[in-house]
């Protein structure tokens, strides 16, 4: 019986009790009331047909058929009976009515019952309705949701892009199906599996697919569901969860965002007595304590493994860590195939091209891309989702939604066009720079213009030349403004470019050891890594003189890149003007038009170009054109804000740094 049915029955009982009590006190069709003198007078005038005497109350019927009621002043009136009999009035006696014991008990206890019902109602509301766990006294009951083997339809076929992680957990399915296969050789299956990876990579989906493949019950709970304001409640819920799991063994317990309860002990306020640490202690005991929980596999997911308690990660508890990374190009293609099965597709859709153009996308990002494409097709009243809608959805996610309603003056548009052209030309000329995918002066997201670059393949680190090339391209927009508007005409639109270029130069010197002057030494101390002084002592490796050298080396790198970028734009001034003119005409140009401009030809109109006066972005792609990028250079941005970029944006530093 669910909560709605229980609440309905409770209120029906309360309504029935109220109706019964009110009926006892209600008076319907009450007869006419008169005083005793009038009654005696009517008796003597022979206007009374019959009377019923009930103690002090006298009721009856007149000769005309009307009803009446009166109250006599005294319990005994000997003359009354004589008058009634003398005037031929029929007299009926009534025995005093006695209420039953149950009726009197119900009436007497009704206020108390009403107060208890109201109290229980509010207690159930405070505890989230009780969730079938015993009503208002269910503080210590587990909130884990049990999915039976028939409810779980997810299998490994629904998971893509993480083949290595699937191989790691496949033996869990074998154990749950046939545990004797491992026990014959003395092997034991891991009690806990910790899934680690960025958000949206499919950790929860992978855990669910394990239960779907193994056909076993699946308990799902979040780490935050254990923690309450009352000390000891979380530990009680952990105990209750494992007790329920024992009854369903073999089964899987999945704890999402375990860092909410599994943080290192003693790291915060409250010492060892706070609620979270008691909950963690109970979880440690349940996973590997005196009492073994055979047949229960705990799977947890987190994107912050560095904050977890070491006792939680030791063998015997979470025996292995399964890394679920961002998918590579093949993984992205497989994920797209999974999500594209759910929408009607046109014949021109090529998942491989979309996969090439979405580096750094997680599985959730790709699912969102397919959904946005379906929405674009629905807005256009199309019956099939085509490549054009997928391209539009990809551009919206990577660069932000178009803001065509934003009014810009011709001067601002021209300045934005030169700014973005500066980024693009530097990116096209500098060695080892990612190719330019698209340039637009249509406001998108928080930027007034966007220049997008693409990596030719998935990249996991950056070379020194690649970083230098990126710093040069970041300054291309500011230099283009300075060349066209003069030193006093430079706008604030390059503030984010300057910030990112400075961060890259600083990291080259202080973190990545890419400076000959400072050597391969790490001068910046990570928040999670302390050395030369130990934890809590805040050890530092650099003196004031070293800091001065660092600043000078960072300034030298930036000055060299700035001068190199300026020289490139001065040598290609004709191409800068031609590209800005093309942007003013078409608003958006892609690699085809960029190639024409760099080769000295007039850029061809974008595909789908119909209105020379209104302007529209390119709607199609050629087979030879590269796929879209994970890096966007913001143009004449509002208040120096950057446009949205993919989480894997390499401008923040190479992977693993």
pLDDT in tens, 336-372: 988 898 899 888 888 888 888 888 888 888 999 999 9
Q: Are 284 and 264 within 8 A, CB to CB?
A: no
- Judge whether 502 is annotated as a binding position: no
DSSP 282-298: HHHHHHSSSS--TTEEE
Q: Is 420 a catalytic residue?
A: yes
Torsion (CA) 342, 346, 350, 351 in degrees, nearest 10: -10
Burial class (CB in 10 A: 0-12, 13-18, 19+), 241: buried
- Judge whether 201 is annotated as a binding position: yes
Burial class (CB in 10 A: 0-12, 13-18, 19+), 623: exposed
- Judge whether 197 is annotated as a binding position: yes
User: How confident is the prediction for the chain on average, in pLDDT?
Assistant: 76
CA distance 361 to 357: 9
Give me the domains of the chain, ranges plus CATH numbers.
145-323 (3.40.50.300), 329-398 (1.10.8.60), 410-516+547-609+626-644 (1.20.58.760)
Nearest to 146 by CA among 267, 245, 290, 55: 245
pLDDT for res 553: 92
- Judge whether 419 is annotated as a binding position: yes
- Judge whether 637 is annotated as a binding position: no
Q: How do residues 144-153 score in pLDDT, each as one tens digit? A: 666 666 667 7
CA distance 496 to 449: 13
By three-state DSSP, how is residue 590 classified? Answer: strand
Distances (CA, A) of 229 to 226, 264, 276, 628: 10, 20, 10, 49
Provide the sign of the torsion angle of the four alpha carbons 327, 170, 286, 204, taken in this order: positive
CA distance 419 to 204: 43
CA distance 577 to 423: 13
Cα Rg of the chain (Å, integer): 40
Burial class (CB in 10 A: 0-12, 13-18, 19+), 311: middle
Which two three-digit tokens encode residue 68? 């009446």
- Judge whether 199 is annotated as a binding position: yes
pTM attached to this predicted model:
0.62
DSSP 481-521: HHHHH-GGG--GGGHHHHHHHHHHHHHHHHTS---TTT-S-
pLDDT for res 503: 93
Regions of the chain short of the pLDDT cut 70: 1-6, 21-31, 75-76, 94-100, 123-151, 228-232, 267-273, 289-293, 405, 445, 456, 525-542, 607-657
Q: Are 461 and 655 within 8 A, CB to CB?
A: yes
- Judge whether 344 is annotated as a binding position: no
Angle between helical axes of 495-510 and 464-485 (0-180°, round to 10): 150
Catalytic residue among 420, 481, 482, 625: 420
Distances (CA, A) of 286 to 142, 290, 385: 14, 9, 50
Angle between helical axes of 233-248 and 275-287 (0-180°, round to 10): 20
Nearest to 236 by CA among 282, 286, 276, 281: 282
Nearest to 144 by CA among 264, 10, 274, 286: 286
Nearest to 258 by CA among 288, 217, 295, 287: 287
Distances (CA, A) of 452 to 19, 204, 438, 628: 73, 32, 5, 8
């Amino acid at each position: 019986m669910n909560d709605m049915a229980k609440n309905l029955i409770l209120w029906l009982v309360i309504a029935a009790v109220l109706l019964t009590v009110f009926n006892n006190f209600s008076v319907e069709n009450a007869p006419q009331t008169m005083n005793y003198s009038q009654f005696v007078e009517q008796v003597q005038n022979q206007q009374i047909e019959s009377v019923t005497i009930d103690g002090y109350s006298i009721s009856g019927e007149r000769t005309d058929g009307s009803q009446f009621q009166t109250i006599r002043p005294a319990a005994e009136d000997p003359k009354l009976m004589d008058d009634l009999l003398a005037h031929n009035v029929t007299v009926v006696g009534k025995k005093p009515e006695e209420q039953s014991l149950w009726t009197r008990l119900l009436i007497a206890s009704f206020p108390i019952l009403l107060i208890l019902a109201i109290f229980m109602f509010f207690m159930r509301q405070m505890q989230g309705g009780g969730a079938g766990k015993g009503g208002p006294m269910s503080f210590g009951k587990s909130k884990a949701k049990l999915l039976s083997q028939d409810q779980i339809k997810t299998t490994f076929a629904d998971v893509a892009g993480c083949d290595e992680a699937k191989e790691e957990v496949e033996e869990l399915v074998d154990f749950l199906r046939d545990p004797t296969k491992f026990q014959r050789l003395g092997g034991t299956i891991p009690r806990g599996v910790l899934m680690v990876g960025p958000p949206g990579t499919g950790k929860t989906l992978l855990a669910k697919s394990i239960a779907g493949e193994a056909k076993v019950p699946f308990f799902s709970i979040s780490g935050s569901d254990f923690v309450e304001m009352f000390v000891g409640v979380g530990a009680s819920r952990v105990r209750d969860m494992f007790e329920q799991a024992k009854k369903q063994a073999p089964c899987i317990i999945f704890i999402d965002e375990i860092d909410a309860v599994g943080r290192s002990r003693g790291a915060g306020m409250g010492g060892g007595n706070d609620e979270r640490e008691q909950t963690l202690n109970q979880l440690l005991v349940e996973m590997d304590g005196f009492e073994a929980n055979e047949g229960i596999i705990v799977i947890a997911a987190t994107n912050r493994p560095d904050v977890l308690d070491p006792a939680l990660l030791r063998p015997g508890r979470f025996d292995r860590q399964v890394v679920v990374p961002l998918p590579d190009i093949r993984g992205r293609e497989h994920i797209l195939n999974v999500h594209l099965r759910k929408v009607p597709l046109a014949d021109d859709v090529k998942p491989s091209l979309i996969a090439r153009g979405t580096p750094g996308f997680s599985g959730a990002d790709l699912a969102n891309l397919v959904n946005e494409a379906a929405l674009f097709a629905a807005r256009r009243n199309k019956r099939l989702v085509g490549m054009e809608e997928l391209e539009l959805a990809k551009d919206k996610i990577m660069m932000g939604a178009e803001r065509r309603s934003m009014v810009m003056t011709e001067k601002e548009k021209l300045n934005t066009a030169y700014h973005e052209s500066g980024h693009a030309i530097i990116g096209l000329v500098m060695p080892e720079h990612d190719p330019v995918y698209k340039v637009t002066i249509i406001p998108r997201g928080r930027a007034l213009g966007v220049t997008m670059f693409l990596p030719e393949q998935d990249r996991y680190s950056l070379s020194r030349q690649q970083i230098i090339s990126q710093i040069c391209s970041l300054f291309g927009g500011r230099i283009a403004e300075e060349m066209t508007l003069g030193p006093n005409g430079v706008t604030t639109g390059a503030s984010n470019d300057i910030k990112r270029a400075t961060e890259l130069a600083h990291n080259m010197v202080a973190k990545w050891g890419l400076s000959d002057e400072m050597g391969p030494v790490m001068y910046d101390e990570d928040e999670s890594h302390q050395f030369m002084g130990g934890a809590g002592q805040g050890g530092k490796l650099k003196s004031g003189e070293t800091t001065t050298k660092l600043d000078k080396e960072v300034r030298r790198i930036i000055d060299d890149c700035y001068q190199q970028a300026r020289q490139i734009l001065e040598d290609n001034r004709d191409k800068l003007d031609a590209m800005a003119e093309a942007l003013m005409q078409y608003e958006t140009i892609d690699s085809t038009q960029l190639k024409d401009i760099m080769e000295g030809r007039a850029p061809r109109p974008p595909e789908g170009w119909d209105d020379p006066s209104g302007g529209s972005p390119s709607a199609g792609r050629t087979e030879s054109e590269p796929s879209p990028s994970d890096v966007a250079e913001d143009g004449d941005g509002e208040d120096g804000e950057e446009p949205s970029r993919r989480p894997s944006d390499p401008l923040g530093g190479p992977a693993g740094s």
